Amino acid sequence: MKRVALLVAAALALGVPGAARANGDPASDTLPFQQVFLPYEAPISGSAADRLKKTVADANEKGYKVRVAVIPFTGDLGTAVALWKHPQLYAKFLGKEIAFSYTDRTLIVMPSGFGIYSGDKPITAKELAALKTVKPAATPTDLTESAADGVRALAAAKGVTVPASFGGSNSQDRLVLAVGLLVLVVVVAVPIWFFRRRARGGGQSPSAEPR
């Protein structure tokens, strides 16, 4: 009975254009205008979100067109909740919903797996095989990292190389660390220098000496 209900829900969702937007499917509101959908309230680290966005942007710039939705929880599907744990069905559902403005690859990642849809353009066997090499994680941050790895694997299957990291976050972290070390050196070294100078009498003026 549960399977029948799921199939009915999926059929209704896939057969009614605009239903997702009307009924509160967040990704269908975002992906027509942005390359990545990340849940609004999911605890995803800034570095993971940034890496996914840069990965997707780089793939698109190099000719591998893809948009990505990260779905860690049932609530991130809005009223398309019947498609939870069915990423391929949801990929097709979402792809049809955003087809008025975007008709290329739509990649879905849930803890239960990936789904990919590309309208009338078939996904190649190499792409599907590459995607199977990436295992989606469970937590929102790790799932977002899995999405970035999935995009890299898919792009590589079509001869497009996307770097694993982009250096921006690491460079910034190194700069923050360097500034912190400099401050620590100043805080520790200046008092030591001051007290040593006083101990040598370097802090007294000649007029202060006894006559």
Q: What is the pLDDT along the chain (211 residues), one digit of tens a residue?
A: 444 344 444 444 444 444 444 447 999 999 999 999 999 889 999 999 999 999 999 999 999 999 999 999 999 999 999 999 999 999 999 999 999 999 999 999 999 999 999 998 999 999 999 999 999 999 999 999 999 999 999 999 999 999 999 875 444 444 444 545 564 555 555 566 555 656 665 544 444 455 4
Return the CA Rg of the chain.
Answer: 27
- Picking from 144, 153, 19, the residue whose alpha carbon sits closest to that of residue 94 is 19
DSSP of the chain? -HHHHHHHHHHHHHHSTTHHHHHT-HHHHHTTT-SEE--SSS---HHHHHHHHHHHHHHHHTT--EEEEE--SGGGGGGGGGGTT-HHHHHHHHHHHTTTT--SEEEEEETTEEEEE-TTSPPPHHHHHHHTT----SSHHHHHHHHHHHHHHHHHHTT----S--SHHHHHHHHHHHHHHHHHHHHHHHHHHHHHHHHTTTT--GGGS--
Global confidence as pTM: 0.71
Task: Kindly state the tokens that stand for 38.
Answer: 């990340």
Query: What is the pLDDT, as a whole number, of residue 185?
Result: 53
Q: Where are the domains of the chain?
A: 2-157, 168-201
Q: Just give the CATH number of 2-157.
A: 3.10.310
Query: Residue 39 corresponds to which tokens in the numbers above?
Result: 């849940």
Angle, CA 143 vertex, CA 34 and CA 29 arms, to 5°: 25
- Of 120, 131, 47, 122, nearest to 87 (Cα)? 131
pLDDT on residue 24: 76
